[in-house]
Chains A and B, each alone.
Chain A
Amino acid sequence: MQLFFDQFMNGIGAGVVFASVALALVIIYRTTGLLNFAQGEMALFSTFVAWWFTDRGLGVVAALLLTIVVSFVGGAVIERVLIRPVENSKSPLNVVIVTLGMFLAINALAALIFIKPGQEALQMPLLFPDGKTLGMQTATLGRAGILVAECVLLYLLLQKTKLGLMLRAVASNPESSKLVGINPGAMLMVGWAIASSIGAVAGVLAASRGTGSFDTSLMQQVLVYAFAAAALGGFDSPLGAVVGGLVVGVANSLTIQYIHALEGIELVVPFGLILVVLLVRPNGLFGRNVVERV
């Protein structure tokens, strides 16, 4: 029983990262209707920025907060400079190609800027001390706490502020929101900025897992799991992203522990899960049905 509980909490610890990246994906999908393949690599770049701050002697928490600010600006700039020109192009595949281009470019740039030649991996200071609180790993509790804080802040922002109202208006009906004086372009920038900040948190959480050493491949597997999480929960539902992330994390960790027949192919479980869920509910667990007029 103790083993099961430990594995479960382990899964939660990993799931927090998946949930955060999935949350960022969902925010961008809701505001712009596109799948951001570069989300993981943007988070990776933010992680490198955070590492740079700690390398300059800042505490890890201060570094994280500064990185969130930097990522916010960076996300807005990326939207304005790279995404805006292709946003209205006839083929939706064009934006996909741009995000794929960013995927390649950002990863390479991060390595070029931050990793010295000959260096294999970087070392991120741990966010939480080793040890146990209330019988659970302190780190897992802390990470879960960060996810909760993230969700609460996002909820307050989206539901209780005027900015959030404007963001939701643009997401649900860009034409009408323009008529009531909202600038959709600015809102898209804000959407990307928020997603980029959430990604930064996810990246730092991912890097500070275990021993804290990380390299440029940090987010690639995570991105795949985050896609799974977002598809599971429904691409237009932030709640779905969080639930999906935790489910995928726990399912993955329990599979590794208990189902030895799947050793080496644990990925079957999250994707099997998505397949089953999507066959029953084609828009994910929490997604809305899109009604199409013929």
Chain B
Amino acid sequence: MTAPTADAVPTIGSIAPRPAVPWVRIAVGIVVTIIAIRLPYYYSPETNQIFSKVLYLAIAAMGLNLLTGFNGQVSIGHGAFFGVGAFTSAILVVNHGWYLEATIPVAAVLAALLGVLVGFPALRVKGLYLALITLGLAVLFPSVVKKYVHGPGGIPLLRPSRLEVQSLISSIPDDIYQYYVCLGVLVLTFLLAANLMRSRTGRAIIAVRDQEVAASTVGVDVARVKVLTFALSAAYAGVAGSLSVLIERSADASNPLIYFQDSIEFLIAVVIGGAATITGPLLGAMLLVAIQKRTEGTDALAPALLGGALIAVVYVLPEGIVGGYRRAVVWARRRRGMGSSGDDPPASASAPEPPSSDPDLPAAPTPSPT
């Protein structure tokens, strides 16, 4: 048996082979785009609502992933930021007659402001204790809202009439229009996150997670990075909350634990998708909603099945969907490399690195969240 890895390392001074055009990636991209655009035309409005829910859940999970996955600050209170976004939009639409689409940036800014407020104590309080402070936020939020917001309709606070969140484009039905709005926002936030994590700031965010003191010695302003990440992450959750009003047509705080449950959903989406990956939260949100919908309707048994399914997912895919995919690809390549190693091992097929066709960030600087 030859060790294929040894052959794969190019000798120093040799010209690295030009990377081939990633045809597979381009093809997958085109197919996914077509599917994403055509999807709502094949399903009922109810199903399209579920798709839209996946999209806004994914946005919130992406935001939480920036903070928890990439920056290592665990939050179980992102539901509160989500709620801020939802109520901002609902109030602006119902009481002030705004277009819902116009309220999204406002929701993002307000959520980010609250994020900054929480980010400052987070400089001093770490880990578990930080998680518990954020938990407090999520648990407090509904009762604060109940006390101070008097929307039309009482406790299920705001139910904007159908007119006020109608499709802005008359040729597209409401449910498909909502889906497209969510899809558009998702694409924007996805690109923002993907580019951010490749930038200098993104590297700083990861460095702070991996080794705070070392990061500060190479000139990273740790406090600024942490507070900024908190604000950005909160803004994502706020945007998601705003979109949720578009879909659900209400901002609701009648159940005192509702935003805690939302926080938990975001965290689950991040972990089962793959923490500290860009596509992970989106896949996680899809899987979570799929499990939820499968187990729904069995009545009392539903939460038990959901809980059991979550445990099973963690057992089968301990690094999330993206982590599992990476491992499968590495395994498949190694097997292929071993099979043909008798004759001449193909140099590119046995790289120990995660594969280049990976839709994500290069995995090297992101081993595992601390």
Spell out A's residues near B (CB within 8 Å).
29, 35, 82, 85-86, 89-94, 96-98, 100-109, 111-112, 220-221, 224, 227-228, 230-231, 235, 263-265, 267-268, 270-271, 274-275, 278-279, 282-284, 294
Contact = CB atoms under 8 A, between A and B. Distances in A.
Nearest to B264: A100
B211 A104 contact: no
Interface size class of B (residues with CB under 8 A): 35 or more
Contacts of A90: 318-319, 368
A111 to B, nearest CB: 6
A102 B133 CA distance: 22
B142 to A, nearest CB: 10
Interface stretch (B184-192, B242-250, B268-276, B329-337): B268-276
How would you classify the secondary structure of chain A's contact residues: helix, strand, loop or mixed?
A: helix
A68 to B, nearest CB: 25
Contacts of A224: 135, 139, 260
Contacts of B268: 97, 100
A265 B132 contact: no
B30 interface: no
Interface string B254-276: 00110010001001101110010
Secondary structure at the B interface, as helix, strand, loop or mixed, is helix
Contacts of A100: 264, 267-268, 307, 310
B308 interface: yes
Contacts of A105: 303-304, 306-308, 311
B368 A108 contact: no
A228 B128 contact: no
A263 B143 CA distance: 10
B139 A267 contact: yes
Interface in B213-256: 213-214, 256
B300 interface: yes
A103 B132 contact: no
B129 A282 contact: yes
Given A111-B300, A278-B129, A91 B311 contact: no
B213 A294 contact: yes
B136 A267 contact: yes
B162 interface: no
Contacts of B139: 224, 267, 271
B113 interface: no
B109 to A, nearest CB: 24
- 4 closest A-B pairs (Cβ-Cβ)? A105-B307, A104-B307, A271-B136, A108-B304
B23 interface: no
Contact of A275 (B133, B213, B264): B133
Nearest to B368: A90
B18 interface: no
Given A97-B314, A267-B139, A271-B140, 17 more contacts: A97-B310, A100-B264, A101-B308, A101-B310, A104-B307, A105-B308, A106-B307, A108-B302, A221-B256, A235-B128, A264-B146, A267-B136, A275-B133, A279-B124, A282-B129, A283-B129, A294-B211
Identify the interface centre among B68, B214, B257, B310: most chain A CB within 10 Å of its CB: B310
Contacts of B275: 91, 93
A93 B301 contact: no
Nearest to A82: B311
9 contacts: A91-B275, A93-B271, A97-B272, A100-B268, A105-B307, A231-B133, A282-B124, A282-B129, A294-B211
Interface in B110-155: 121, 124-126, 128-129, 131-133, 135-137, 139-140, 143-144, 146-147
Contacts of B311: 82, 97-98, 101-102, 105
A90 B132 CA distance: 22
B121, B140, B306, B368: residue with the most chain A Cβ atoms closer than 10 Å: B140
Contacts of A104: 303-304, 306-307, 310
A35 B128 contact: yes
B105 interface: no
A112 B304 contact: yes
Contacts of B126: 282
A274 B133 CA distance: 8
A279 B132 contact: no
Which interface residue of A91, A221, A275 has the most chain B CB atoms within 10 A? Answer: A91
Contacts of B137: 271
